[in-house]
Structure 1
Amino acid sequence: MTYKLIAIDIDDTLINDDKQVTPATQAALEQAVEAGVVVTLATGRAYASAKQLAAQTGLNVPIITYQGALVKNLLDGKVLLERHVPVEAALKLGKYCLEHNLHLQTYIDDKLYAREENEKLVAYAQLNNTRFYLEPDFEKLFSQPTPKMLIIDDPAFLDELAPKLHELLGDQVHITKSKPHFLEIMHREGTKGHALAFLADYFGCTLEECIAIGDSWNDHEMLEAAGLGVAMGNAIEPLKAIADFISTSNNEDGVKVVIDKFVLNK
Protein backbone atom coordinates (compact mmCIF):
# COMPACT_ATOMS: atom_id res chain seq x y z
CA MET A 1 0.00 0.00 0.00
CA THR A 2 1.22 3.49 -0.87
CA TYR A 3 0.11 5.84 1.88
CA LYS A 4 -0.71 9.43 0.94
CA LEU A 5 -1.73 11.06 4.23
CA ILE A 6 -0.52 10.69 7.83
CA ALA A 7 -2.48 12.16 10.74
CA ILE A 8 -0.47 12.35 13.95
CA ASP A 9 -1.67 13.11 17.46
CA ILE A 10 0.54 15.62 19.30
CA ASP A 11 0.71 14.97 23.04
CA ASP A 12 2.39 11.70 24.03
CA THR A 13 2.68 10.82 20.33
CA LEU A 14 4.53 13.34 18.18
CA ILE A 15 6.21 15.09 21.09
CA ASN A 16 8.21 13.36 23.81
CA ASP A 17 7.78 13.85 27.53
CA ASP A 18 9.91 17.01 27.29
CA LYS A 19 7.28 18.42 24.89
CA GLN A 20 9.74 18.35 21.99
CA VAL A 21 9.78 16.93 18.48
CA THR A 22 13.14 15.14 18.40
CA PRO A 23 15.58 15.80 15.53
CA ALA A 24 15.16 12.19 14.37
CA THR A 25 11.38 12.48 14.20
CA GLN A 26 11.64 15.90 12.56
CA ALA A 27 13.89 14.43 9.85
CA ALA A 28 11.40 11.61 9.26
CA LEU A 29 8.55 14.11 8.88
CA GLU A 30 10.55 16.08 6.32
CA GLN A 31 11.40 12.90 4.40
CA ALA A 32 7.73 11.91 4.30
CA VAL A 33 6.77 15.32 2.91
CA GLU A 34 9.57 15.12 0.34
CA ALA A 35 8.14 11.75 -0.70
CA GLY A 36 4.84 13.47 -1.49
CA VAL A 37 2.93 12.42 1.60
CA VAL A 38 0.61 14.90 3.33
CA VAL A 39 1.54 15.05 7.01
CA THR A 40 -0.98 16.65 9.33
CA LEU A 41 -1.60 16.94 13.06
CA ALA A 42 -4.73 15.70 14.83
CA THR A 43 -5.13 16.99 18.36
CA GLY A 44 -7.54 17.89 21.08
CA ARG A 45 -5.63 21.11 21.56
CA ALA A 46 -6.95 24.49 20.49
CA TYR A 47 -5.78 25.75 17.11
CA ALA A 48 -3.59 28.45 18.67
CA SER A 49 -1.81 25.88 20.83
CA ALA A 50 -1.46 23.31 18.04
CA LYS A 51 -0.18 25.97 15.67
CA GLN A 52 2.82 26.62 17.92
CA LEU A 53 3.83 22.95 17.76
CA ALA A 54 3.13 22.72 14.05
CA ALA A 55 5.52 25.63 13.54
CA GLN A 56 8.17 23.57 15.31
CA THR A 57 7.79 20.89 12.62
CA GLY A 58 7.66 23.25 9.65
CA LEU A 59 4.40 21.70 8.44
CA ASN A 60 2.21 23.90 6.27
CA VAL A 61 -1.09 22.07 5.86
CA PRO A 62 -4.59 22.07 7.37
CA ILE A 63 -4.53 20.63 10.90
CA ILE A 64 -7.19 18.87 12.95
CA THR A 65 -7.86 20.59 16.29
CA TYR A 66 -10.38 20.40 19.15
CA GLN A 67 -10.63 16.61 18.58
CA GLY A 68 -11.88 17.24 15.03
CA ALA A 69 -14.31 20.10 15.66
CA LEU A 70 -12.05 22.52 13.75
CA VAL A 71 -9.89 21.89 10.68
CA LYS A 72 -7.93 24.98 9.76
CA ASN A 73 -5.08 25.93 7.42
CA LEU A 74 -1.75 26.80 8.98
CA LEU A 75 -0.71 29.12 6.16
CA ASP A 76 -3.66 31.50 5.90
CA GLY A 77 -5.84 30.48 8.86
CA LYS A 78 -8.73 29.55 6.59
CA VAL A 79 -11.36 27.39 8.30
CA LEU A 80 -12.12 24.27 6.26
CA LEU A 81 -14.38 22.44 8.70
CA GLU A 82 -16.04 23.63 11.89
CA ARG A 83 -18.48 22.03 14.29
CA HIS A 84 -19.78 23.73 17.45
CA VAL A 85 -21.29 22.15 20.54
CA PRO A 86 -25.06 22.55 20.04
CA VAL A 87 -26.28 25.45 22.16
CA GLU A 88 -28.96 23.35 23.86
CA ALA A 89 -26.32 20.83 24.96
CA ALA A 90 -23.89 23.55 26.03
CA LEU A 91 -26.55 25.19 28.21
CA LYS A 92 -27.46 21.86 29.83
CA LEU A 93 -23.82 20.97 30.45
CA GLY A 94 -22.99 24.40 31.85
CA LYS A 95 -25.95 24.32 34.21
CA TYR A 96 -25.07 20.81 35.38
CA CYS A 97 -21.46 21.75 36.10
CA LEU A 98 -22.44 24.89 38.00
CA GLU A 99 -24.99 22.97 40.08
CA HIS A 100 -22.46 20.24 40.92
CA ASN A 101 -19.54 22.64 41.39
CA LEU A 102 -17.44 21.02 38.65
CA HIS A 103 -14.50 22.69 36.98
CA LEU A 104 -15.68 23.48 33.45
CA GLN A 105 -13.70 25.28 30.73
CA THR A 106 -14.85 26.47 27.35
CA TYR A 107 -13.27 27.92 24.23
CA ILE A 108 -14.65 31.01 22.50
CA ASP A 109 -12.85 32.35 19.40
CA ASP A 110 -9.90 30.06 20.19
CA LYS A 111 -9.54 31.57 23.68
CA LEU A 112 -9.77 29.53 26.87
CA TYR A 113 -12.33 30.68 29.45
CA ALA A 114 -13.17 29.56 32.97
CA ARG A 115 -15.26 30.96 35.81
CA GLU A 116 -12.41 31.25 38.31
CA GLU A 117 -8.70 30.64 38.60
CA ASN A 118 -7.67 27.45 40.37
CA GLU A 119 -4.94 24.81 40.25
CA LYS A 120 -6.74 22.81 37.56
CA LEU A 121 -6.99 25.77 35.22
CA VAL A 122 -3.41 26.92 35.79
CA ALA A 123 -1.97 23.44 35.27
CA TYR A 124 -4.01 22.95 32.09
CA ALA A 125 -2.93 26.30 30.68
CA GLN A 126 0.71 25.55 31.44
CA LEU A 127 0.47 22.10 29.86
CA ASN A 128 -0.94 23.55 26.65
CA ASN A 129 1.06 26.79 26.74
CA THR A 130 -2.25 28.61 26.57
CA ARG A 131 -3.38 31.90 28.06
CA PHE A 132 -6.67 31.79 29.95
CA TYR A 133 -9.41 34.33 30.57
CA LEU A 134 -11.76 34.56 33.55
CA GLU A 135 -15.47 35.27 33.22
CA PRO A 136 -17.31 35.38 36.58
CA ASP A 137 -20.63 35.56 34.72
CA PHE A 138 -19.80 32.21 33.20
CA GLU A 139 -23.37 31.32 32.20
CA LYS A 140 -23.44 33.97 29.50
CA LEU A 141 -20.73 32.07 27.61
CA PHE A 142 -22.74 28.86 27.29
CA SER A 143 -24.81 30.17 24.38
CA GLN A 144 -21.78 31.34 22.41
CA PRO A 145 -20.27 29.11 19.68
CA THR A 146 -17.68 26.75 21.14
CA PRO A 147 -15.84 23.81 19.53
CA LYS A 148 -15.11 22.19 22.90
CA MET A 149 -16.06 22.23 26.57
CA LEU A 150 -13.85 20.44 29.07
CA ILE A 151 -14.21 19.15 32.62
CA ILE A 152 -11.12 18.49 34.73
CA ASP A 153 -11.39 16.10 37.67
CA ASP A 154 -10.26 12.80 39.15
CA PRO A 155 -10.10 10.09 36.43
CA ALA A 156 -12.33 7.64 38.30
CA PHE A 157 -14.93 10.35 38.91
CA LEU A 158 -14.92 11.31 35.22
CA ASP A 159 -15.44 7.67 34.26
CA GLU A 160 -18.59 7.70 36.38
CA LEU A 161 -19.64 11.13 35.07
CA ALA A 162 -19.34 10.35 31.35
CA PRO A 163 -22.41 8.04 31.09
CA LYS A 164 -24.45 10.54 33.11
CA LEU A 165 -23.56 13.26 30.62
CA HIS A 166 -24.36 10.95 27.73
CA GLU A 167 -27.82 10.50 29.22
CA LEU A 168 -28.20 14.24 29.86
CA LEU A 169 -26.97 15.46 26.48
CA GLY A 170 -27.98 12.60 24.19
CA ASP A 171 -26.52 12.02 20.76
CA GLN A 172 -25.97 15.72 20.07
CA VAL A 173 -22.43 15.52 21.40
CA HIS A 174 -19.26 13.47 21.31
CA ILE A 175 -17.67 12.83 24.72
CA THR A 176 -14.13 11.56 25.06
CA LYS A 177 -10.97 11.70 27.16
CA SER A 178 -7.69 13.13 25.91
CA LYS A 179 -5.98 12.46 29.22
CA PRO A 180 -7.30 10.52 32.23
CA HIS A 181 -8.37 13.71 34.04
CA PHE A 182 -9.73 15.61 30.98
CA LEU A 183 -13.31 14.90 29.89
CA GLU A 184 -14.05 16.71 26.63
CA ILE A 185 -17.39 17.47 25.02
CA MET A 186 -17.73 18.38 21.33
CA HIS A 187 -20.32 18.28 18.55
CA ARG A 188 -21.22 14.68 17.70
CA GLU A 189 -19.12 15.01 14.52
CA GLY A 190 -16.25 16.59 16.45
CA THR A 191 -14.07 13.50 16.23
CA LYS A 192 -10.66 12.91 14.72
CA GLY A 193 -12.24 10.19 12.60
CA HIS A 194 -14.72 12.59 10.97
CA ALA A 195 -11.96 15.13 10.42
CA LEU A 196 -9.64 12.55 8.90
CA ALA A 197 -12.35 11.51 6.44
CA PHE A 198 -12.82 15.17 5.52
CA LEU A 199 -9.10 15.70 4.91
CA ALA A 200 -8.76 12.50 2.90
CA ASP A 201 -11.47 13.77 0.58
CA TYR A 202 -9.92 17.26 0.58
CA PHE A 203 -6.57 15.89 -0.59
CA GLY A 204 -8.11 13.40 -3.00
CA CYS A 205 -7.15 10.15 -1.33
CA THR A 206 -9.05 7.30 0.26
CA LEU A 207 -9.13 6.46 3.95
CA GLU A 208 -7.33 3.23 3.07
CA GLU A 209 -4.41 5.43 1.95
CA CYS A 210 -4.25 7.14 5.35
CA ILE A 211 -2.17 6.40 8.44
CA ALA A 212 -3.38 7.56 11.86
CA ILE A 213 -1.06 7.56 14.87
CA GLY A 214 -2.13 8.13 18.47
CA ASP A 215 -1.92 7.08 22.09
CA SER A 216 -5.22 7.80 23.85
CA TRP A 217 -8.91 6.99 23.61
CA ASN A 218 -9.69 10.22 21.75
CA ASP A 219 -7.62 8.79 18.88
CA HIS A 220 -9.65 5.61 18.41
CA GLU A 221 -12.06 7.03 15.81
CA MET A 222 -9.23 8.02 13.49
CA LEU A 223 -7.34 4.75 14.03
CA GLU A 224 -10.49 2.86 13.11
CA ALA A 225 -11.10 5.09 10.06
CA ALA A 226 -7.57 4.95 8.65
CA GLY A 227 -6.22 2.19 6.45
CA LEU A 228 -3.39 1.81 8.96
CA GLY A 229 -4.17 2.61 12.58
CA VAL A 230 -1.07 2.88 14.76
CA ALA A 231 -0.90 2.93 18.55
CA MET A 232 2.23 4.22 20.23
CA GLY A 233 4.15 1.96 22.58
CA ASN A 234 2.97 4.20 25.44
CA ALA A 235 -0.67 4.10 24.30
CA ILE A 236 -3.50 2.96 26.54
CA GLU A 237 -4.29 -0.74 26.23
CA PRO A 238 -7.77 -0.30 24.65
CA LEU A 239 -6.17 1.64 21.79
CA LYS A 240 -3.47 -0.98 21.29
CA ALA A 241 -6.22 -3.57 21.09
CA ILE A 242 -7.78 -1.96 17.99
CA ALA A 243 -4.52 -0.88 16.32
CA ASP A 244 -3.13 -2.47 13.16
CA PHE A 245 0.41 -1.78 14.34
CA ILE A 246 2.01 -0.89 17.67
CA SER A 247 5.08 1.34 17.42
CA THR A 248 7.65 2.33 20.00
CA SER A 249 6.88 5.04 22.56
CA ASN A 250 6.87 8.82 22.14
CA ASN A 251 10.26 8.86 23.91
CA GLU A 252 11.64 6.34 21.42
CA ASP A 253 10.73 8.16 18.18
CA GLY A 254 7.65 6.03 17.61
CA VAL A 255 6.42 8.32 14.81
CA LYS A 256 9.76 7.96 12.98
CA VAL A 257 9.48 4.17 13.26
CA VAL A 258 6.10 4.30 11.49
CA ILE A 259 7.30 6.62 8.73
CA ASP A 260 10.44 4.57 8.13
CA LYS A 261 8.51 1.29 7.95
CA PHE A 262 5.36 2.21 6.07
CA VAL A 263 6.23 5.34 4.05
CA LEU A 264 9.96 5.22 3.34
CA ASN A 265 10.08 1.41 3.31
CA LYS A 266 13.33 1.32 5.25
Structure 2
Amino acid sequence: MIALDLDNTLLNSEKKISETNTKALKQLHKQGKAIVLCTGRPINAIWDWLTQLGLMDENDYSVNFNGSLVIHNVDKKPLMSDGMKRDHFAYLHEFCAAHQYPLDILDFNGVYPINDLPLSGYEKRLGGNMHFLHIPFAKMPDASYSKAVICTDPGVLDQIVANMPEQLTKEFHIVRSQPMILEFLKPGIDKGSALDVLLKHFGWTRDNLMTFGDAQNDLEMLASAGVGVAMANGTAEAKRTANRETDLDNNHDGVADFLTSYFVKEE
Protein backbone atom coordinates (compact mmCIF):
# COMPACT_ATOMS: atom_id res chain seq x y z
CA MET A 1 0.00 0.00 0.00
CA ILE A 2 1.34 3.42 -1.02
CA ALA A 3 -0.35 6.25 0.91
CA LEU A 4 0.23 9.85 -0.16
CA ASP A 5 -0.45 13.23 1.34
CA LEU A 6 -1.56 15.80 -1.23
CA ASP A 7 -0.53 19.40 -0.51
CA ASN A 8 3.23 19.94 -0.88
CA THR A 9 3.69 16.19 -1.41
CA LEU A 10 1.91 14.74 -4.45
CA LEU A 11 0.57 18.13 -5.55
CA ASN A 12 2.91 20.79 -6.90
CA SER A 13 2.61 24.48 -6.04
CA GLU A 14 -0.11 24.85 -8.67
CA LYS A 15 -2.21 22.20 -6.86
CA LYS A 16 -1.73 19.74 -9.72
CA ILE A 17 -0.46 16.17 -9.99
CA SER A 18 2.25 16.17 -12.67
CA GLU A 19 2.20 13.81 -15.61
CA THR A 20 5.36 12.15 -14.28
CA ASN A 21 3.80 11.44 -10.88
CA THR A 22 0.58 10.30 -12.56
CA LYS A 23 2.40 7.84 -14.83
CA ALA A 24 4.42 6.32 -11.97
CA LEU A 25 1.39 5.82 -9.71
CA LYS A 26 -0.79 4.43 -12.50
CA GLN A 27 1.90 1.89 -13.35
CA LEU A 28 2.23 0.74 -9.73
CA HIS A 29 -1.56 0.57 -9.37
CA LYS A 30 -1.73 -1.59 -12.49
CA GLN A 31 0.86 -3.89 -10.90
CA GLY A 32 -1.40 -4.43 -7.89
CA LYS A 33 -0.23 -1.79 -5.43
CA ALA A 34 -2.98 -0.06 -3.44
CA ILE A 35 -2.65 3.71 -3.99
CA VAL A 36 -4.34 5.70 -1.22
CA LEU A 37 -4.70 9.48 -1.17
CA CYS A 38 -4.60 10.82 2.42
CA THR A 39 -5.98 14.31 2.84
CA GLY A 40 -7.85 16.76 5.03
CA ARG A 41 -10.38 17.25 2.24
CA PRO A 42 -13.66 15.36 1.59
CA ILE A 43 -13.77 12.93 -1.32
CA ASN A 44 -15.69 15.33 -3.61
CA ALA A 45 -12.81 17.79 -3.36
CA ILE A 46 -10.28 15.17 -4.54
CA TRP A 47 -12.51 13.47 -7.12
CA ASP A 48 -10.70 14.92 -10.13
CA TRP A 49 -7.34 13.67 -8.81
CA LEU A 50 -8.75 10.20 -8.06
CA THR A 51 -10.06 10.10 -11.62
CA GLN A 52 -6.75 11.35 -13.03
CA LEU A 53 -4.90 8.53 -11.24
CA GLY A 54 -7.48 5.91 -12.19
CA LEU A 55 -8.25 4.99 -8.57
CA MET A 56 -11.74 3.72 -9.27
CA ASP A 57 -11.35 -0.05 -8.89
CA GLU A 58 -13.24 -2.17 -6.39
CA ASN A 59 -10.32 -2.15 -3.93
CA ASP A 60 -9.59 1.58 -4.09
CA TYR A 61 -10.06 3.69 -0.94
CA SER A 62 -9.13 7.16 0.32
CA VAL A 63 -8.43 8.65 3.74
CA ASN A 64 -10.27 11.94 4.22
CA PHE A 65 -10.47 14.66 6.88
CA ASN A 66 -6.98 13.75 8.12
CA GLY A 67 -8.14 10.34 9.30
CA SER A 68 -11.75 10.82 10.41
CA LEU A 69 -13.04 8.98 7.34
CA VAL A 70 -11.91 6.01 5.24
CA ILE A 71 -14.06 5.83 2.14
CA HIS A 72 -14.59 3.48 -0.81
CA ASN A 73 -13.88 5.56 -3.90
CA VAL A 74 -16.32 3.97 -6.34
CA ASP A 75 -19.55 4.30 -4.34
CA LYS A 76 -18.38 6.73 -1.62
CA LYS A 77 -19.46 4.34 1.15
CA PRO A 78 -17.51 4.74 4.42
CA LEU A 79 -15.34 1.89 5.63
CA MET A 80 -14.83 3.93 8.82
CA SER A 81 -16.04 7.32 10.06
CA ASP A 82 -15.43 8.81 13.49
CA GLY A 83 -16.74 12.26 14.28
CA MET A 84 -17.71 14.66 17.06
CA LYS A 85 -20.94 16.39 18.10
CA ARG A 86 -21.37 20.16 17.92
CA ASP A 87 -21.00 20.61 21.68
CA HIS A 88 -17.47 19.22 21.43
CA PHE A 89 -16.50 22.51 19.75
CA ALA A 90 -18.13 24.85 22.29
CA TYR A 91 -14.95 25.85 24.14
CA LEU A 92 -13.02 26.16 20.86
CA HIS A 93 -15.71 28.56 19.63
CA GLU A 94 -15.47 30.56 22.86
CA PHE A 95 -11.70 30.72 22.50
CA CYS A 96 -11.96 31.99 18.91
CA ALA A 97 -14.63 34.53 19.88
CA ALA A 98 -12.52 35.88 22.75
CA HIS A 99 -9.54 36.46 20.45
CA GLN A 100 -11.43 37.18 17.22
CA TYR A 101 -10.03 34.21 15.34
CA PRO A 102 -11.93 32.67 12.39
CA LEU A 103 -13.28 29.11 12.63
CA ASP A 104 -14.54 26.56 10.10
CA ILE A 105 -16.18 23.31 11.22
CA LEU A 106 -16.50 20.39 8.79
CA ASP A 107 -18.98 17.53 8.78
CA PHE A 108 -18.42 14.62 6.38
CA ASN A 109 -19.85 16.45 3.36
CA GLY A 110 -18.91 20.09 3.55
CA VAL A 111 -17.76 23.10 5.53
CA TYR A 112 -19.50 25.45 7.96
CA PRO A 113 -17.65 28.78 8.14
CA ILE A 114 -18.81 30.19 11.49
CA ASN A 115 -20.08 33.65 10.61
CA ASP A 116 -20.39 35.06 14.12
CA LEU A 117 -16.57 35.17 13.96
CA PRO A 118 -14.19 36.94 11.54
CA LEU A 119 -14.13 35.71 7.95
CA SER A 120 -11.84 32.75 7.35
CA GLY A 121 -9.49 32.26 4.43
CA TYR A 122 -10.32 28.55 4.26
CA GLU A 123 -12.98 28.75 1.55
CA LYS A 124 -10.74 30.81 -0.73
CA ARG A 125 -7.83 28.37 -0.26
CA LEU A 126 -9.76 25.15 -0.88
CA GLY A 127 -12.67 26.17 -3.08
CA GLY A 128 -13.80 23.74 -5.78
CA ASN A 129 -16.22 20.87 -5.25
CA MET A 130 -16.70 21.66 -1.56
CA HIS A 131 -19.99 22.87 -0.11
CA PHE A 132 -19.67 25.91 2.19
CA LEU A 133 -22.59 27.03 4.38
CA HIS A 134 -21.96 30.19 6.40
CA ILE A 135 -23.78 29.88 9.72
CA PRO A 136 -23.63 31.04 13.37
CA PHE A 137 -22.27 28.44 15.79
CA ALA A 138 -25.56 28.29 17.70
CA LYS A 139 -27.46 27.29 14.55
CA MET A 140 -25.21 24.45 13.45
CA PRO A 141 -27.25 21.26 12.90
CA ASP A 142 -27.10 18.27 15.22
CA ALA A 143 -24.74 16.20 13.10
CA SER A 144 -21.43 14.36 13.22
CA TYR A 145 -18.44 16.60 12.52
CA SER A 146 -15.00 15.52 11.34
CA LYS A 147 -12.84 18.45 12.46
CA ALA A 148 -12.49 22.20 12.93
CA VAL A 149 -10.01 24.53 11.27
CA ILE A 150 -8.50 27.91 12.09
CA CYS A 151 -7.20 29.36 8.83
CA THR A 152 -5.40 32.66 9.20
CA ASP A 153 -2.03 34.39 8.92
CA PRO A 154 0.89 32.07 9.80
CA GLY A 155 2.18 34.55 12.37
CA VAL A 156 -1.17 34.51 14.16
CA LEU A 157 -1.16 30.70 14.14
CA ASP A 158 2.34 30.75 15.63
CA GLN A 159 0.95 32.75 18.55
CA ILE A 160 -2.04 30.41 18.95
CA VAL A 161 0.20 27.34 19.01
CA ALA A 162 2.59 28.95 21.49
CA ASN A 163 -0.26 29.86 23.84
CA MET A 164 -2.68 26.96 23.31
CA PRO A 165 -5.07 26.52 26.27
CA GLU A 166 -4.61 23.21 28.05
CA GLN A 167 -8.32 22.44 27.71
CA LEU A 168 -8.03 22.45 23.92
CA THR A 169 -5.02 20.13 23.96
CA LYS A 170 -7.10 17.70 26.03
CA GLU A 171 -10.20 17.95 23.87
CA PHE A 172 -8.53 17.65 20.45
CA HIS A 173 -5.65 16.20 18.48
CA ILE A 174 -4.25 19.48 17.12
CA VAL A 175 -2.07 19.56 13.99
CA ARG A 176 -0.63 22.26 11.74
CA SER A 177 -1.36 20.90 8.27
CA GLN A 178 -0.16 24.01 6.42
CA PRO A 179 1.43 27.31 7.51
CA MET A 180 -2.01 28.98 7.42
CA ILE A 181 -4.12 26.03 8.67
CA LEU A 182 -4.44 24.64 12.20
CA GLU A 183 -6.73 21.60 12.54
CA PHE A 184 -8.63 20.25 15.54
CA LEU A 185 -9.40 16.52 15.30
CA LYS A 186 -10.93 13.99 17.63
CA PRO A 187 -8.28 12.58 20.00
CA GLY A 188 -6.77 9.40 18.56
CA ILE A 189 -7.70 10.34 15.01
CA ASP A 190 -4.92 10.82 12.47
CA LYS A 191 -3.84 9.52 9.06
CA GLY A 192 -1.85 6.69 10.66
CA SER A 193 -4.81 5.33 12.63
CA ALA A 194 -7.00 5.50 9.52
CA LEU A 195 -4.43 3.58 7.48
CA ASP A 196 -4.35 0.93 10.23
CA VAL A 197 -8.09 0.41 9.60
CA LEU A 198 -7.45 0.03 5.88
CA LEU A 199 -4.50 -2.31 6.37
CA LYS A 200 -6.63 -4.51 8.63
CA HIS A 201 -9.35 -4.54 5.96
CA PHE A 202 -6.87 -6.00 3.48
CA GLY A 203 -5.25 -8.32 6.01
CA TRP A 204 -1.95 -6.46 5.81
CA THR A 205 0.42 -4.99 8.40
CA ARG A 206 2.42 -1.78 8.63
CA ASP A 207 5.29 -3.63 6.98
CA ASN A 208 3.16 -3.55 3.82
CA LEU A 209 2.85 0.26 3.99
CA MET A 210 4.80 3.06 2.29
CA THR A 211 3.78 6.64 3.08
CA PHE A 212 4.72 10.07 1.71
CA GLY A 213 4.22 13.33 3.63
CA ASP A 214 5.66 16.73 4.42
CA ALA A 215 3.99 18.24 7.48
CA GLN A 216 2.75 17.81 11.04
CA ASN A 217 -0.51 16.13 10.06
CA ASP A 218 1.53 13.41 8.30
CA LEU A 219 3.74 12.45 11.26
CA GLU A 220 1.73 9.45 12.46
CA MET A 221 1.57 7.83 9.05
CA LEU A 222 5.26 8.53 8.44
CA ALA A 223 6.16 6.97 11.80
CA SER A 224 3.94 3.91 11.44
CA ALA A 225 4.92 2.82 7.93
CA GLY A 226 7.51 0.21 7.05
CA VAL A 227 8.77 2.82 4.59
CA GLY A 228 7.94 6.38 5.69
CA VAL A 229 9.13 8.96 3.17
CA ALA A 230 9.45 12.66 3.95
CA MET A 231 9.53 15.10 1.07
CA ALA A 232 12.71 17.08 0.40
CA ASN A 233 10.57 20.20 0.96
CA GLY A 234 9.07 18.78 4.16
CA THR A 235 9.42 20.15 7.65
CA ALA A 236 12.36 19.21 9.86
CA GLU A 237 9.90 17.34 12.09
CA ALA A 238 8.62 15.27 9.17
CA LYS A 239 12.18 14.40 8.13
CA ARG A 240 13.08 13.33 11.69
CA THR A 241 9.98 11.14 11.86
CA ALA A 242 10.42 9.39 8.49
CA ASN A 243 12.99 6.73 7.73
CA ARG A 244 13.49 7.83 4.12
CA GLU A 245 13.55 11.15 2.25
CA THR A 246 13.00 12.11 -1.38
CA ASP A 247 15.89 13.63 -3.32
CA LEU A 248 13.53 16.02 -5.13
CA ASP A 249 10.76 18.30 -3.88
CA ASN A 250 7.07 18.35 -4.76
CA ASN A 251 7.65 20.70 -7.69
CA HIS A 252 10.16 18.33 -9.28
CA ASP A 253 8.31 14.99 -9.10
CA GLY A 254 9.85 13.90 -5.81
CA VAL A 255 7.27 11.13 -5.37
CA ALA A 256 7.82 9.57 -8.81
CA ASP A 257 11.58 9.87 -8.51
CA PHE A 258 11.60 7.98 -5.20
CA LEU A 259 9.12 5.32 -6.37
CA THR A 260 11.03 4.65 -9.58
CA SER A 261 14.33 4.31 -7.74
CA TYR A 262 12.88 2.20 -4.90
CA PHE A 263 11.01 -0.34 -7.01
CA VAL A 264 13.74 -0.65 -9.64
CA LYS A 265 16.21 -1.49 -6.85
CA GLU A 266 13.67 -3.84 -5.26
CA GLU A 267 13.33 -5.78 -8.49
TM over 0.5, shorter chain: yes
Measured after TM superposition, the shift of residue 160 of structure 1 is: 3.3
Query: 2:108 and 2:22 mapped to 1: Cα distance?
Result: 30
Query: 2:170 is matched with which residue?
Result: 171
1:65-214 equivalences in 2 (<5 Å): 65-85=64-84, 87-116=86-115, 118=119, 120-126=121-127, 130-135=130-135, 137-141=136-140, 144-162=143-161, 164-165=163-164, 167-214=166-213
Q: Is the 8 A contact 1:211 1:229 kept in 2?
A: yes
Secondary structure (helix, strand or coil) at the match of 1:134 reads coil
- Give the 3 Å change call, closer, same or farther, for CA 251–129 of structure 1 in structure 2: farther
> Equivalent residue of 1:21, what SS?
coil
Residues 184-240 of structure 1: per-residue CA shift (max 9 Å, x gap): 011112200101111111112110110010111110110001011101111112111
- Provide runs of 4+ in structure 1 moved above 6 Å: none
Which structure exhibits the higher relative contact order, with contacts defined as CA atoms closer than 8 Å and separated by 6 or more residues? Answer: 1
The percentage of counterpart residues that share the same residue type is 30
- Does 2:34 match 1:38? yes
Q: Which moved more, 1:39-48 or 1:226-235?
A: 39-48
- Residues 103-147 of structure 1: CA distance to partner in whole angstroms, max 9, x if unpaired? 000113411111338462442233x65342211x32232853210
Whether contact under 8 Å (1:69, 1:189) holds in the other structure is no
Q: After superposition, give the CA deviation of every residue in 1:13-60 in whole Å (9 maximum; x if it has no partner).
A: 111112221111111111111221111011112222123322221112
Q: Partners of 1:19 and 1:105 in 2: how far apart?
A: 21
Q: Is 1:66–1:190's contact at 8 Å kept on the other side of the alignment?
A: no
Change (3 A) 1:263 1:201: farther
Match of 2:260 in 1: 260
**Corresponding residue for 1:52?**
48
Q: Deviations over 1:69-118 (max 9, x none)?
A: 11111101110111113544312212222232210001134111113384
Q: 1:121 to 1:24 in 2, by over 3 A?
A: closer
Structure 1 unaligned blocks of 5 or more? none
> In 2, distance between residues paired with 1:147 and 1:163?
24
Aligned-partner Cα distance in 1 for 2:123–2:145: 20
- The aligned counterpart of 1:234 is 233
* Contact 1:174-1:189 at 8 Å conserved across structures: yes
Contact 2:105 2:148 in 1 (8 A): yes
Number of aligned positions between the proteins = 260
So what's the TM-score if we normalise by structure 1?
Answer: 0.89
Q: Which amino acid in 2 is paired with 1:209?
A: N
The two structures, once aligned, show a CA RMSD in angstroms of 2.1
Structure 2 portions without partners, runs of 5+: none
How far the C-alpha of 1:158 sits from its partner, in A, is 2.0
Q: Distance in 1 between matches of 2:165 and 2:84?
A: 14
Which of 10, 15, 20 is matched with 1:14 structurally? Answer: 10
* 1:67–1:25 distance in 2 versus 1, CA, 3 Å: same
Work out the CA distance in 2 between the residues paired with 1:87 and 1:118.
20
Distance, in Å, in 2 between the alignment partners of 1:118 and 1:94 is 14
**In structure 2, distance between residues paired with 1:238 and 1:125:** 25
Partner SS, residue 176 of structure 2:
strand
